C-alpha cells in the first residue's frame, strides 16, 4: 500500500497514464455496445473504465443524444427534481503554492492578500444567513496560517454565528490536503464533505503547472482523501480542473479515483466537481488555458460522469454562465452554488478592491433569490436540506441512491420544508408566490397520509418554528 511520506513523489499510484491512454484508444463506440452500457448505468451500476472510455469516444450526434437522454433519465429516476443550493465562503487567500492558473498563487503580485478576522468572518456569515443560505463550502489557500486548528476554529465560529431566524447548518471544506492527524482535528468540529480537486490526473502536466510549494507533490495530493478516510471523514469530494489537460483523460482519472476509494474504503466519493478554468486577476495562463473545453464537450463530460458514477452527487459551480448552467443541470447535477461571491470578505463589504482579493471571475452573478426564482420556473425544488448530516446519516447522496423510496420519504419533504423556510423568511414576493405554487403541486404527488404529515410540518413553519425536518 502507498506510503504517505511527503517526499515520495515518484511512487507508483493508482493512476496509470499508460493504462488510461490504452483504455481510451481501444474503446470503439459501436451503437449496440453504447446502448448496453447506458442500460447498465440506468440499472444504477457504476461503469468500468472501458465502458466510460466507450462513451467518451462517441462522436455520432444521434448516439450522443442517446447518452444525454440516458443521463437526464438517470437523474430523474434516482434524484428527482431537487437542486441543493450552497455558497462558497473564502476565509483567506494567502498561499505558498504557485499553481499557474490560480489568482491566489504566491507569485501573483496583483492579488490583495487577506485572511478574515473572527469579527469579519462573523459578518460574512451573517450576510450569507440573511440571504437565506444554510450550506457553505469554506475555501482556504494553502499556508502555515491555515493550520488544522485554524480551519477547525473558523468552522466552529461559522456554526455558532446565529442571525435572526437562521444559521449555517452544514459546512463543507475545500482546503489543502492534510495529515491524518490534521483531518482528525477538523473532523471534531463537524464538517460535511472534505473536497480536494486533483486539478489534473496527468502527472507530467501536474508537475509543470504546480512548480513550487507542497502542492507540487502529485501523490501527496492524490492520496489526500485516503488520509481523510483513514481519519474517519467518510464524506469526501473529488474533482478536476478542466482546461489543463485532455478532458477525456481527466474523466477517466476521476473514475479511477472513484474506483480506488471504493476498493480501499468500500465507499466512493460523495461528490464530483468539474470546474472549468476561469480568468483570474494577474493570471494570464487562466485567460488562455492549454486544453480549453467547449460547451459541447462540457455537456458531454457531465452526462458521462453522471452515467459512470450513478451514486455520486455532481456539483456545478457559478463559474458557468446561467444559460449553460440550466442545460447542464438537467444532465444530472445535484448541487449548485448561488448568489456566490468569491472575494475574501466580499459578502459583507462593498469595497471595490474586493475583486482584487478574488480567486477568479464568476460567470453567474445572479442573486440567490434570482437563481431560486429561475429554478422554480423550471419546475425544480430548490433545497437547503441538511437533514441527513444532522441526523448522523452521512453520505446523503448515497442514501438517495441506495435506499429505495428514500427520496420520496425524506429528501422531497425535507427539501419542501427548507424551501418553505426560505419563502417565509427571505424570498421576494415573486419568488414566494412561485414557490408556494410549486409546494402545492409537489404535495399532490403524495398519498393522503404522507401529504397530511408534510402539511403539518409546513404549518409548523408558518407558526414560526424553524429547522423542521424528517
Ligand atoms: N488551496 C486549496 C487547493 O488548492 O486545494 C483549496 C482552495 S483552491 C482556491 C480551490 C480550487 O479552485 C482548486 O482546487 C482549483 O481547482 C480551483 N481553481 C483555481 N484556479 C482557478 C481558476 N482560475 N478558475 C477556476 N477554478 C480555479
Ligand atoms: Fe493556492 Fe489552492 Fe490557488 Fe493553488 S489553487 S494557488 S493551492 S489557493
Q: Return the best residue to mutate from 142, 174, 211, 240 for the ligand 2 pocket (most ligand atoms within 8 A of CB).
A: 142
Task: Determine the distance separating the centroid of ligand 2 and the alpha carbon of 146, expressed in angstroms.
Answer: 13
| Residue 387 grid cell | 437533514
* Phi and psi angles of residue 87, each rounded to the nearest 5 degrees, phi first: -135, 145
Task: Indicate the SS3 state at residue 187.
Answer: helix
For ligand 2, atom 8: residue with the closest CA: 141
* Residue 295: burial class (beta carbons within 10 Å; 0-12, 13-18, 19+): middle
pTM of the model as a whole:
0.95
Q: Could you report the average pLDDT of every consecutive run of 10 residues in the chain (470 residues)?
A: 47 92 97 98 97 98 98 91 95 97 96 95 96 97 98 98 94 98 98 97 98 96 97 96 98 98 96 94 95 97 98 87 86 92 82 62 78 93 92 75 80 96 98 98 95 97 93
Task: Determine the distance separating the centroid of ligand 2 and the alpha carbon of 396, expressed in angstroms.
Answer: 28
Domain with CATH 3.20.20.70 in the chain: 82-390
For ligand 1, atom 10: residue with the closest CA: 174
- Residue-level pLDDT at 10: 52
Pocket flag, ligand 1, residue 199 (CB < 6 Å): yes
- Residue-level pLDDT at 2: 46
Task: Indicate the SS3 state at residue 73.
Answer: helix
Pocket flag, ligand 1, residue 175 (CB < 6 Å): yes
Contacts of 177 (CB under 8 A, 6+ apart): 196, 220, 221, 223, 224, 225, 227
Q: Return the best residue to mutate from 241, 276, 318, 320 for the ligand 1 pocket (most ligand atoms within 8 A of CB).
A: 241
| Atom of ligand 2 minimally distant from the CA of 359 | 3
Over residues 258-268, the pLDDT tens digits come to 999 999 999 99
- Residue-level pLDDT at 7: 43
Name the residue among 95, 140, 149 with its Cα closest to residue 116: 140
Contacts of 272 (CB under 8 A, 6+ apart): 237, 238, 239, 254, 258, 305, 309, 312, 313, 314, 315
| Atom of ligand 2 minimally distant from the CA of 199 | 5
Continuous H helices in 144-199:
148-160, 180-188
Over residues 134-155, the pLDDT tens digits come to 999 999 999 999 999 999 999 9
* Phi and psi angles of residue 43, each rounded to the nearest 5 degrees, phi first: -90, 20
Report residues whose beta carbon is within 6 angstroms of any ligand 2 atom.
95, 97, 99, 102, 104-105, 141-142, 215
CATH number of the structural domain 82-390: 3.20.20.70
- Residue-level pLDDT at 361: 63
Amino acid at each position: 500500500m502507498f506510503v504517505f511520506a511527503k517526499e515520495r513523489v515518484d511512487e507508483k499510484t493508482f493512476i496509470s497514464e499508460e493504462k488510461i491512454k490504452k483504455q481510451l484508444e481501444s474503446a470503439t463506440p459501436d451503437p449496440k455496445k453504447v446502448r448496453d452500457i447506458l442500460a447498465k448505468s440506468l440499472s444504477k451500476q457504476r461503469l468500468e473504465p472501458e465502458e466510460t472510455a466507450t462513451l467518451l469516444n462517441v462522436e455520432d450526434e444521434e448516439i450522443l443524444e442517446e447518452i444525454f437522454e440516458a443521463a437526464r433519465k438517470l437523474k430523474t429516476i434516482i434524484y428527482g427534481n431537487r437542486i441543493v443550493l450552497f455558497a462558497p465562503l473564502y476565509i483567506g487567500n494567502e498561499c505558498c503554492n504557485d499553481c499557474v492558473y490560480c489568482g491566489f498563487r504566491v507569485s501573483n503580485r496583483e492579488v490583495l492578500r487577506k485572511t478574515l478576522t473572527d469579527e469579519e468572518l462573523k459578518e460574512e456569515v451573517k450576510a450569507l444567513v440573511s440571504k437565506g443560505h444554510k450550506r457553505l463550502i469554506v475555501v482556504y489557500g494553502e499556508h502555515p496560517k491555515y493550520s488544522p486548528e485554524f480551519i477547525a476554529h473558523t468552522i466552529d465560529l461559522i456554526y455558532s454565528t446565529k442571525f435572526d431566524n437562521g444559521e449555517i447548518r452544514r459546512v463543507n471544506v475545500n482546503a489543502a490536503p492534510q495529515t491524518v492527524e490534521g483531518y482528525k482535528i477538523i473532523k471534531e468540529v463537524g464538517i460535511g464533505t472534505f473536497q480536494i480537486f486533483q486539478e489534473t490526473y496527468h502527472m507530467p502536466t501536474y508537475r509543470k503547472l504546480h512548480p513550487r510549494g507542497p502542492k507540487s507533490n502529485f501523490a501527496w495530493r492524490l492520496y489526500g482523501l485516503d488520509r481523510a478516510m483513514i481519519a474517519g471523514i467518510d464524506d469526501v469530494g473529488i474533482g478536476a480542473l478542466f482546461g489543463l489537460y485532455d478532458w477525456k483523460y481527466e474523466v477517466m482519472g476521476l473514475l479511477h479515483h472513484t474506483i480506488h476509494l471504493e476498493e480501499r474504503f468500500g465507499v466512493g466519493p460523495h461528490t464530483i466537481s468539474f470546474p472549468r478554468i476561469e480568468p483570474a486577476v494577474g493570471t494570464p495562463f487562466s485567460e488562455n488555458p492549454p486544453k480549453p473545453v467547449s460547451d459541447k464537450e462540457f455537456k458531454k463530460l457531465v452526462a458521462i460522469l453522471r452515467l459512470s458514477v450513478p451514486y455520486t452527487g455532481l456539483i456545478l459551480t457559478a463559474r458557468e454562465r446561467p444559460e449553460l448552467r440550466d442545460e447542464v443541470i438537467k444532465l444530472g447535477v445535484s448541487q449548485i452554488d448561488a448568489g456566490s461571491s468569491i472575494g475574501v470578505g466580499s459578502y459583507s463589504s462593498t469595497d471595490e478592491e474586493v475583486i482584487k482579493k478574488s480567486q477568479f471571475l464568476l460567470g453567474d452573478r445572479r442573486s440567490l433569490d434570482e437563481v431560486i426564482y429561475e429554478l422554480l420556473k423550471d419546475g425544480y425544488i430548490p433545497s437547503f436540506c441538511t437533514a441527513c448530516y444532522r441526523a448522523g446519516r452521512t453520505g446523503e447522496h448515497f442514501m438517495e441512491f441506495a435506499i429505495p423510496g428514500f427520496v420520496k420519504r425524506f429528501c422531497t419533504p425535507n427539501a419542501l420544508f427548507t424551501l418553505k423556510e426560505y419563502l417565509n423568511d427571505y424570498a421576494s414576493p415573486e419568488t414566494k408566490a412561485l414557490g408556494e405554487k410549486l409546494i402545492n403541486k409537489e404535495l399532490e404527488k403524495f398519498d393522503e397520509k404522507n401529504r397530511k404529515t408534510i402539511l403539518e410540518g409546513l404549518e409548523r413553519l408558518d407558526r414560526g418554528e424553524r429547522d423542521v425536518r424528517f
